[in-house]
């Protein structure tokens, strides 16, 4: 009996002993947030600090005090950080002495902030304010619908919105997909920035290395709305859709393939996809592909009732307007005259050295951020597989992902702030993490 009691007591004590190897102790980490030098680097009080764990997606948040200091308790790990401070017109007048008509947003972001028990317990963050334009990228449908039961990537689209009180003409507006690293490597390469993104200052032919990663973005595909200046008006509070292919994707698609043989793309569950046959704009790539001596997609067909966008620049091998279904992408809209764009530099990836460069090497158009009207950074839904940001904070300090991932029929759309006399207006703080929400099915409204 005595031996049995001692054995039981030993088992109980062993079971109650904590597992020191798995027990993680939270630590305090401080953020010192200031405005940029345009505002004399003043402390940024009342700024919202949000950390998202790169391993499990868990979030932590805090608010800075009047000295710009925020303290948050987190477990050691790697985090994405976003910081934003919004001003009403009256608050901005009191702060900067300037009259503005709309709210002003300051933002900052950090990728791959490694917080450890033994590391630096203070992170400095500098806020910047971005341009608030009259046109917005309102909705992006990049996930596509089920490959077998829906329309795969054929039904993708973007939606442009006039968020101003004035009529805006879309003639000459450019849409660009932004090129960059699609994943964060375990080991940072010499041609990459600390966050894993490409270091464009090292590209062959780079003419502005000091500003290469802050004052430019790089695109592998640029499309333009045609027109002579006043052909395509967009009323205040209204939107237009640019479809990859402007057809009714709910119906079976019957086409002839490149050999002239009939082919049918069935859509067993039409509710998974959408009807885009009345979309005012579409991307039709076949003429361009033929002019380059390249093959085309048989599913990329021309809707004569929809205006075809012009291809201003292309090094991406996609045979249609193809958005990355995983969310490893970023998009911008911008304006400038064609003469300026034709003079912009096009350079190879910084991973390419002089021995590897040839006439067939892909190059990427170097677009000044000063011409960009709006940008949206999208992201994978799995934080363990996130890509590093491609857009500077002044364009988009955040990012938005779908919930269910690729081919889920989900879209991302801006949050509506008000609707007046049939005109809708949407949130624009240059931070997609707070400006966007996820729809389980795209919203298609053709005015």
Tell me which of 149-153, 183-187, 225-229, 436-440 is least confident.
183-187
Tell me which of 56-60, 200-204, 206-210, 265-269 is least confident.
56-60
Q: Across-strand partners of 407?
A: none
Q: Is the pLDDT of residue 244 over 60?
A: yes
Q: How far apart are CA 140 and CA 142, in angstroms?
A: 6
CB 132 within 8 A of CB 102: yes
Q: What are 221-234's pLDDT values in tens digits?
A: 999 999 999 999 99
Q: Which residues contact 68 (CB under 8 A, 6 or more apart)?
A: 32, 33, 34, 42, 43, 44, 45, 47
Supply the pLDDT for residue 80: 87
Q: Is the pLDDT of residue 12 over 60?
A: no
Q: What are 389-437's pLDDT values in tens digits?
A: 999 998 999 999 999 999 999 999 999 999 988 899 999 989 999 999 9
User: Between the CA of residue 55 and those of 69, 73, 112, 398, what are the distances in Å?
Assistant: 26, 17, 11, 18
Supply the pLDDT for residue 14: 42
Q: Is the pLDDT of residue 77 over 80?
A: yes
User: Between the CA of residue 406 and those of 33, 323, 327, 329, what are the distances in Å?
Assistant: 36, 11, 8, 13
Q: Is the pLDDT of residue 42 over 80?
A: yes
Q: Sketch out the chain's domains with CATH numbers.
A: 24-129 (2.60.40.10), 135-439 (no CATH)
In the DSSP assignment, the letter for residue 260 is: S
């Amino acid at each position: 009996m005595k031996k049995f009691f001692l054995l039981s007591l030993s088992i109980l004590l062993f079971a109650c002993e904590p597992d020191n190897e798995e027990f993680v102790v939270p630590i305090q980490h401080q953020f010192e947030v200031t405005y940029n030098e345009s505002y004399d680097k003043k402390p940024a009080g009342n700024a919202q600090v949000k950390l998202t764990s790169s391993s499990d997606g868990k979030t932590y948040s805090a608010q800075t005090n009047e000295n710009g200091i925020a303290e948050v308790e987190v477990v050691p790990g790697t985090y994405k950080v976003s910081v934003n401070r919004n001003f009403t017109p009256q608050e901005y007048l009191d702060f900067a002495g300037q009259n503005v008509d709309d709210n002003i947003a300051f933002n900052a972001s950090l990728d791959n902030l490694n917080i450890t028990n033994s590391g630096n317990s203070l992170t400095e963050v500098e806020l910047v304010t971005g341009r608030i334009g009259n046109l917005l990228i309102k909705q992006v449908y990049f996930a596509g619908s089920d490959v077998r039961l829906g329309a795969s990537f054929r039904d993708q689209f973007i939606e442009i919105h006039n968020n101003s009180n004035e009529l805006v003409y879309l003639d000459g507006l450019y849409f660009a997909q932004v090129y960059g690293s699609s994943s964060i490597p375990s080991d940072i390469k010499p041609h990459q920035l600390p966050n894993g993104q490409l270091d464009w200052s090292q590209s062959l032919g780079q003419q502005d290395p000091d500003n290469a990663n802050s004052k430019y973005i790089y695109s592998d595909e640029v499309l333009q709305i045609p027109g002579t200046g006043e052909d395509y008006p967009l009323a205040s509070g209204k939107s237009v859709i640019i479809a990859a292919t402007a057809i009714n994707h709910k119906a079976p698609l019957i086409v002839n393939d490149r050999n002239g043989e009939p082919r049918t793309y069935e859509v067993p569950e039409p509710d998974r996809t959408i009807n885009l046959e009345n979309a005012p704009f579409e991307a039709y790539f076949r003429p361009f592909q033929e002019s380059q001596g390249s093959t085309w997609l048989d599913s990329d067909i021309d809707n004569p009732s929809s205006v075809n966008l012009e291809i201003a620049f292309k090094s991406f091998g996609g045979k249609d307007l193809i958005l990355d279904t995983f969310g490893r992408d970023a998009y911008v809209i911008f304006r400038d005259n064609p003469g300026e764009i034709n003079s912009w530099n096009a350079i190879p990836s910084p991973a390419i050295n002089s021995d590897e460069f040839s006439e067939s090497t892909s190059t990427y158009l170097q677009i000044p951020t000063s011409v960009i009207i709006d940008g949206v950074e999208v992201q994978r839904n799995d934080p363990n597989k996130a890509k590093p940001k491609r857009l500077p904070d002044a364009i988009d300090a955040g990012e938005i992902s779908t919930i269910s991932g690729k081919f889920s029929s989900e879209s991302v759309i801006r949050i509506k702030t008000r609707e007046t006399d049939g005109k809708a207006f949407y949130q624009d703080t240059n931070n997609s993490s707070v400006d966007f929400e996820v729809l389980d099915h795209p919203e298609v409204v053709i005015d």
